[in-house]
Amino acid sequence: MRGNSHVRFGGRAEETARLKGPHRASARPNHTAAILLLGKGVHPKVVSELLGHSQVGVTLDLYSHVTPTVHRQAAQAFGELLQD
């Protein structure tokens, strides 16, 4: 996570930059959920809201490494539409 990133976990925001040791692991479920949801094609705005990010750009900046999968899925879907 970056500097003053905030994550929502258990209904409250925590500053991950302050967390040390085993407490830092509490951010991991959100990270995993974001990657899985974006990889399944869930709209980034929805994922952003679930994570409690103030803007969708924050989510896209943090999880842009997932987008190649999303791009492949979009290209495949578009190809299927053209074949119909």
DSSP assignment letter at 55: S
Give the model's confidence band at 57: pLDDT under 50 very low, under 70 low, under 90 confident, else very high: very high
CA dist 68 and 8 (Å) reads: 26
pLDDT the model gives residue 27: 58
pLDDT surpasses 60 at 71 = yes
pLDDT the model gives residue 15: 43
In the chain the first and final C-alpha atoms are separated, in Å, by: 43
Reading the block at residue 58, the tokens are 């924050």
Predicted structure pTM score = 0.53
Overall average pLDDT of the 10-36 stretch: 59
Give CA angle at 34 (32, 39), nearest 5°.
Answer: 100
Reading the block at residue 46, the tokens are 């929805």
Helices (H) then strands (E): counts for the chain: 4, 2
